[in-house]
Structure 1
């Protein structure tokens, strides 16, 4: 069945408190769907958010974009560009042809590192994808020590210069493939420990999504203050009961889930805010939410 999320109504941001944010991202998992239906058709789609973000101080996210998706084979494909997402004709062209059960999409607003393809999300290593919204404060002071903690066999695979990619490779170093929550907790814990040693203020502001192509893990954490916004969608069967008049909901598969920096539509009962200092897992359409605490274990 071909799914679509067209004809969505605008989201009214007054329902939620705006947060400091640097990028916007979206994850879809469910029945195979055209990337065009996810990226372009919703009224407050990720493409619209690249010009008109509503839950952060950065309204425009025009420092490049990237998508990652799973199709043939075990490893995902990625397409990235330094062009603004709203102005890239190639993105629109390929989005009409990509049909996938799992899509990562990210629009970037740089926090200081160069606008170049290698700094665009999502980042890929083997079968894993990773994307991040946020910042590691004092990254210039911390980068050397954090880089030295990356497993030497992994280090040559780092292509860019962002805090986001380095955080990914720290998580890989600490066992992302075996236990993602523990690996991310250790990576964040290391960043916070190194920051204290350097006298850097509480450094981490993040929402993160990562996947191995089968399950999706999402994280929301800030070393101090409130983390950036992050939401996951309600079970589609429940949303259909709440809104039986919407044809678009009947066209989405039973296991459909979205994770978004900003809701794609204003629809009561559809979006659940992930609590501060929490992580979630999406597996076979089911979502579980758990507390997230940075860890110094094993260092």
Structure 2
């Protein structure tokens, strides 16, 4: 469906992972070995918090409907932007049209959100799900994707106060409405959300067969495993990435996030929390 990447750590030039890695996100837009689709050429997006941002800072976003591998603006921006926390996403459209308002990541105030996956038979449940969005948030839904609806449902159910609770309640609602419409497996995907300080990365599907999700090991650990890897000099000790698929082929560098799990990444590193149980 899509591929995405989230970075947190010392300020990093975004091209380091978006362009320069062996299996960079831009490379995955053209050739994604672990994706549901090999090619993800229906749009690109990046959202980033500036260096030195304080709590509540509003991230900047850039969206393009051009294929990431063929968009000179993507390369110019990636080489110019330096950020301590950023999201990026390449899209494979699965129904909703190719337009900038349908490109991830989505933003609300200081929050960023992106999704790889789908709501099964979205056309059947779109009206019920959309009408469940808080009226104060509804005007901010500018696109037509199921992903943006999930984001605003999570906001409706309290994501800004408790991200895990907000995501859980949103998925509960999606599954309840889906099954009322006879949909056996309503939810599929991986989700990343951030307030600018912490990243919550969810891997979950109603069927228990979720899209792939990985996060990097700690940089000091990776340096011990690969002391001669010159490329590691680009990363600080707190650098971490969460990715739809690994950025390189080095064993032990990327660890798979288990099914039905939220990986929480903050300044202390990762910890995992169970997310419901696969239906």
TM-score (normalised: structure 1): 0.89
The residue number in structure 1 matching 2:170 is 187
126, 133, 158: which one pairs with 2:109?
126
Structure 1 gap segments, 5+ residues each: 1-21, 295-299
2:223 to 240, 246, 261: 240
2:209: which partner in 1?
Answer: 226
| 8 Å CA contact 1:71, 1:100 repeated in 2 | yes
Q: 1:254-293, aligned counterparts within 5 Å?
A: 254-293=237-276
- The 5 A counterparts of 1:111-260 are 111-260=94-243
Match of 2:81 among 79, 94, 98: 98
Structure 1 residue 138: Cα displacement:
1.1
Q: Which runs of 5+ in 2 are unaligned?
A: none
197-206 or 106-115, larger mean C-alpha shift = 197-206
- 1:248 deviates by 1.7
4+ residue runs of structure 1 moved beyond 2 angstroms?
A: none
Q: Deviations over 1:175-196 (max 9, x none)?
A: 1111111110100010000011
Query: Larger deviation: 239-248 or 215-224?
Result: 239-248
CA contact (8 A) 2:45 2:62 kept: yes
Alignment of 1:53 with 2:32, yes or no, is: yes
Aligned CA-pair RMSD: 1.3
Structure 2 CA distance for aligned equivalents of residues 239 and 257 of structure 1: 11
Aligned partners of 1:181 and 1:28: how far apart in 2?
19
Give the aligned partner of residue 9 of structure 2: 30
Moved more, 247-256 or 179-188: 247-256
Contact 1:30-1:285 within 8 A present in 2 as well: no
Output the TM-score relative to the length of structure 2. Answer: 0.96
* CA-CA distance at 1:208 after TM superposition: 0.3
Deviation per CA, 1:137-170: give whole Å up to 9, x if none: 0111101110111110000000000000000000
- Structure 2 CA distance for aligned equivalents of residues 267 and 147 of structure 1: 43
Deviation, structure 1 residue 32: 0.7
Contact kept, 8 Å, 2:3 with 2:35, in 1: the verdict is no
Cα distance in 2 between the residues matched to 1:198 and 1:266: 43
User: 2: distance between equivalents of 1:240 and 1:105?
Assistant: 25
* Equivalent in the alignment of 1:8: none
After TM superposition, give the deviation of residue 286 of structure 1 in Å.
Answer: 0.8
Larger displacement relative to structure 2 (66-75 or 264-273)? 66-75
